[in-house]
Amino acid sequence: MDGEHRDTPGSRPPEPASASTLRDGAGRLGSALRGPVSLVHPRRRTAGLEGLPLEARASVVACGVYRHGERDSHPRGFDAALRAVHAGRDRFVWLGLYEPSEDDLAAVAATFGLHPLAVEDAARSHERPKLDSYGGTLFAVLKTIRYVEHEEVSATSEIVETGQIMVFLGRDFVVTVRHGAYGELQTLRARLEARPHLLARGPAIVLHAIADHIVGGYLKVADRIQRDIDTLEKAVFDDRVRFPDAGAVYQLKREVVEFKHAVLPLAAPLRALADPDGDVGPIPPEVRNRFRGTEENVQRVSERVAGFDELLGSFLQATLAQVSVAQNQDMRRISAWAAIAAVPTATAGIYGMNFDHMPELRQVWGYPAVLAFIVTACLLLHRAFRRNGWL
């Protein structure tokens, strides 16, 4: 959990009128929620809690109403928060959820009028980064990246860990849904509340702050991976290491590819949000300018990650080539010693034949002469192999 403030649970709210509308118009969501396969962890189901205020449910991180950038009175339920927003101008509600259950998402969707397809995507934790527009509501999927500390890169090292933050953005509300242990928004919320002049620009500034926060994390992770690559490069091309660890290179390349899959798809949504002539939802012009800076940072990270992928591909080829060369060298050494050992073996085999008439068989100097021949031949072969680099 993010550990943010939870408002005091209130009394049981009346059955919202929009719930029947959601059940009638959300056939696809309804089938997904009624099906035999659950999209969320069973321990996070909250069946029977439909009558409780949202703050009493396990998935709620925070729910606040902001008026002119200042946090207003704490609402006693998500429906009360939305009513407080509709009661005045320049207000919006920010609802934060952490791995919500199906029941929680259905209740939020009914109150905020979220599209069933977007709600179905929000129930899953493995969505590709994207931006969808449903009428006046935007649905954004952002991937969070965390660098996993480790002493050295090995064939089993975990370098990066991914999570997801999904954002529903309307003209007077923003709903964030977080999946994964990493990516809490408590610090970001506190930082924004300390700058009410930013929050006064509406819920779109929250979406920008979340995107900018996540992309800033990308930059930090890229710097840490760069250090791992530099260390691995020294190990790969170290002359003292005969067999570089190809498994470590491959594992780091896999982790970089996972990083790449989180960063590259985000460029198009940010480009659409930063387009001054675009029409993708309730994004004021001054906030679109801020998205342009975030888009540039994503482009920087994308270029670096693409470079990491290519560089690690070269490392992997170089590692396999070095292993192949080392194996060939070993085979040549074995072949050279086998050729040298063949001289005494062949000589002993010849003179071991049981013939009565053989050259120098009964000469006194015959045995020393054969030994001298063997030693001389072996030395000559050894010298030849050394000159050719086989030994």
196 is a domain residue: no
| Cα–Cα nearest to 89, from 56, 119, 65 | 65
The tokens of 381 are what?
């072969």
The reply to whether 53 falls in a domain is no
Q: pTM for this structure? A: 0.71
Between 84-98, 99-113, 193-207, 218-232, the lowest mean confidence (pLDDT) is in 84-98
Number of domains in the chain: 1
Other Cβ atoms less than 10 A from the Cβ of 30: the count is 16
- Does residue 155 form part of some domain? no
Tell me what pLDDT residue 222 has. 95
Cα–Cα distance measured from residue 329 to residue 331, given in angstroms and rounded to the nearest whole number: 5
Residue 355 domain-assigned? yes
Could you count the other beta carbons within 10 Å of the beta carbon of residue 335? Answer: 12
Is position 35 within any domain? no
Query: Residue 383 domain-assigned?
Result: yes
Map tokens 């190990």 to a residue. 235
Give the residue-averaged pLDDT of 365-375.
Answer: 83
Is residue 343 one of the residues assigned to a domain? Answer: yes
Does residue 205 belong to any structural domain of this protein? Answer: no
Predicted local confidence at residue 300, as pLDDT: 94
pLDDT digits (tens, 9 = 90+) for 287-328: 888 999 999 999 999 999 999 999 998 888 888 887 777 778
361 vs 52, more confident? 361
- Quick check: 97 and 60 in contact, CB under 8 A? yes
Instruction: Pull the structure tokens for residue 25.
Output: 């118009």
Angstrom distance (rounded) from CA 13 to CA 18: 13
Q: How do residues 78-107 score in pLDDT, each as one tens digit?
A: 677 777 777 767 788 898 999 888 888 888
> Exposed/middle/buried for 331, CB within 10 Å: 0-12, 13-18, 19+?
exposed
Look up the domain containing 343 and give its range. Answer: 327-387
CATH at 369: 1.20.58
Strand partners, 175: 95, 168
